[in-house]
């Protein structure tokens, strides 16, 4: 009598019953699948020929259901990473299949929501370890205490996230008016307001409109998510178009209006993102969302950013008090 072999599907069904409804996936095979998914995702990000940068993994954290891969953005010409820029790649295990979502992907925010609270906290902690930090003592304490609110005298702002939640040197304001003003005398070194795209769903932060001001050695402030076309002409004419080698040097005084509150880039609603730190940079990303609607997605979008963040005092409130401002705290800019 010939021997009849059971089909693989029947064998799998028997194993399912014998093992109480659970078919173990070999750990080695699952790890191989994870590595293949991560490699394919990074390769996809680095393929475009016009790319001036590439992604390089510097670490990861994860559990059985998800992994967060930390990617530094590297200058293709110099092979050096842009300081302070760390992007996250989310890799989730759904129905035994690993799926990756990178910054700029339409499902990026949805992928982030699949992480457990514990893994999210672990990822935040790892990010703080690898991201460029402020160097203690580099700036005199007195120089961190004389900043003003980033909106005109007499105007009000409501705190939606202060530094105790948003991270060192970062504050979100919902402005009563729309005018954004310089927090301190200095020199504008970057100004861009051509983006019209809101990209919260995809995490494509580089579509935000920003102004960056230098206030002295290792002292910078950034004003982000500005409304399209809202930076005053006197600033844009003097600065010219954003460039990877900025030549913008425009004197500005505390209280000067430098733009209007908006919701460009990685934002859900109109607000002002103010940030303070020891360095700034300009990094090129691809126009994956075709922000200028010309059908070309391999063009470059230049994003200004700050790194080495430090807390500052605002309107006479010391840094620790500013950091402790809670959600919906209302603050008023100084009236001289």
Domains of the chain: residue spans and CATH: 25-130 (no CATH), 141-332 (2.70.70.10)
Report if pTM > 0.85.
Answer: yes
| Band of pLDDT at residue 297, cut at 50, 70 and 90 | confident
DSSP H or E segment with residue 108: helix 108-113
The single residue listed with the structure tokens 């103010």 is 274
pLDDT tops 70 at residue 18: no
Residues in CB range of 318: below 8 A, 6 or more apart: 145
List strand residue ranges (DSSP E) for 102-208, in order.
156-161, 170-175, 179-181, 186-192
Please tell me the least confidently modeled range out of 76-85, 86-95, 294-303. Answer: 294-303
How far, in Å, CA of 188 to CA of 281, rounded? 13
Position 163 scores a pLDDT of 82
| Band of pLDDT at residue 2, cut at 50, 70 and 90 | very low
pLDDT tops 90 at residue 292: no
What average pLDDT score do residues 287-301 get?
89
Mean of the per-residue pLDDT values of the chain: 91
The single residue listed with the structure tokens 């402020």 is 134
pLDDT tops 60 at residue 9: no
| b/e burial code for range 310-319 (CB count within 10 A of at least 16 → b) | bbbbbbebeb
Please tell me the least confidently modeled range out of 19-28, 251-260, 270-279, 305-314. Answer: 19-28
Position 165 scores a pLDDT of 82
Task: Using a pLDDT cut of 90, give the percent of the chain over it.
Answer: 82
Q: Name which residue leads in pLDDT, 117 or 16.
A: 117
Position 50 scores a pLDDT of 60
| b/e burial code for range 152-185 (CB count within 10 A of at least 16 → b) | beebebebbbbbeebbbbbbbbbbeebbbbbbbb
Which tens digit of pLDDT belongs to each residue from 144-184?
999 999 999 999 999 999 888 888 999 999 999 999 999 99
How far, in Å, CA of 223 to CA of 192, rounded? 11
DSSP H or E segment with residue 166: helix 163-166
What average pLDDT score do residues 181-198 get?
97
pLDDT tops 50 at residue 284: yes
Position 11 scores a pLDDT of 44
DSSP state of 329: -
> What tokens were used for 13?
């069904």
The backbone torsions φ and ψ at residue 44, rounded to the nearest 5 degrees and listed phi first, read -60, -40
| Band of pLDDT at residue 49, cut at 50, 70 and 90 | low
> What tokens were used for 279?
């360095």
How far, in Å, CA of 284 to CA of 305, rounded? 11
| Band of pLDDT at residue 199, cut at 50, 70 and 90 | very high
Burial environment of residue 322 by CB neighbours within 10 A (0 to 12, 13 to 18, 19 or more) = buried
Burial environment of residue 109 by CB neighbours within 10 A (0 to 12, 13 to 18, 19 or more) = middle
Which tens digit of pLDDT belongs to each residue from 217-253?
999 999 999 999 999 999 999 999 999 988 899 999 9
The backbone torsions φ and ψ at residue 164, rounded to the nearest 5 degrees and listed phi first, read -70, -20
Q: Name which residue leads in pLDDT, 95 or 257.
A: 257
Contact 205, 302 (CB under 8 A): no
How far, in Å, CA of 103 to CA of 204, rounded? 6
The single residue listed with the structure tokens 């992907």 is 105
Contact 105, 87 (CB under 8 A): no
What average pLDDT score do residues 260-284 get?
97
How far, in Å, CA of 72 to CA of 93, rounded? 23
> What tokens were used for 329?
């705290």
């Amino acid at each position: 009598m010939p021997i009849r072999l059971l089909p693989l599907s029947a064998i799998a069904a028997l194993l399912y019953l014998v093992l109480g409804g659970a078919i173990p996936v070999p750990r080695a095979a699952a790890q191989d699948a994870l590595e293949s998914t991560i490699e394919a995702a990074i390769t996809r990000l680095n393929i475009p020929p016009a790319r001036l940068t590439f992604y390089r993994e510097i670490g990861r954290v994860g559990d059985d259901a998800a992994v967060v891969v930390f990617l530094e953005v590297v200058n293709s010409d110099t092979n050096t990473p842009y300081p302070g820029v760390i992007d996250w790649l989310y890799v989730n295990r759904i129905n035994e299949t690993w799926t990756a979502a990178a910054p700029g992907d339409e499902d990026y925010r949805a992928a982030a929501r699949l992480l457990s609270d514990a893994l999210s906290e672990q990822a935040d902690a790892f990010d703080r370890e690898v991201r460029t930090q402020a160097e203690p003592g580099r700036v005199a304490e007195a120089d961190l205490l004389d900043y003003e609110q980033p909106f005109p005298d007499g105007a009000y702002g409501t705190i939606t996230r202060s530094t105790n939640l948003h991270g060192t040197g970062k504050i979100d304001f919902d402005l009563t008016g729309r005018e954004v003003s310089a927090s301190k005398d200095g020199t504008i070194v970057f100004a861009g307001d051509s983006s019209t795209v809101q990209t919260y769903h995809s995490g494509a932060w580089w579509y935000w409109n920003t102004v960056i001001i230098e206030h002295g050695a290792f002292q910078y402030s950034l004003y982000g998510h500005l409304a399209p076309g809202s930076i005053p002409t006197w600033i844009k004419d003097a600065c010219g178009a954003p460039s990877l080698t900025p030549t913008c040097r425009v004197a500005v005084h505390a209280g000067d209006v430098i733009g209007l509150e908006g919701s460009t880039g990685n934002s859900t609603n109109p607000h002002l993102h103010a940030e303070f730190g020891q360095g700034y940079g300009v990094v090129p990303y691809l126009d994956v969302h075709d922000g200028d609607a010309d059908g070309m997605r391999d063009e470059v979008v230049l994003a200004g950013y700050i790194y080495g963040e430090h807390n500052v005092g605002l309107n006479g409130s010391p840094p620790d008090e500013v950091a402790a401002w809670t959600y919906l705290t209302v603050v008023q800019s100084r009236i001289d």
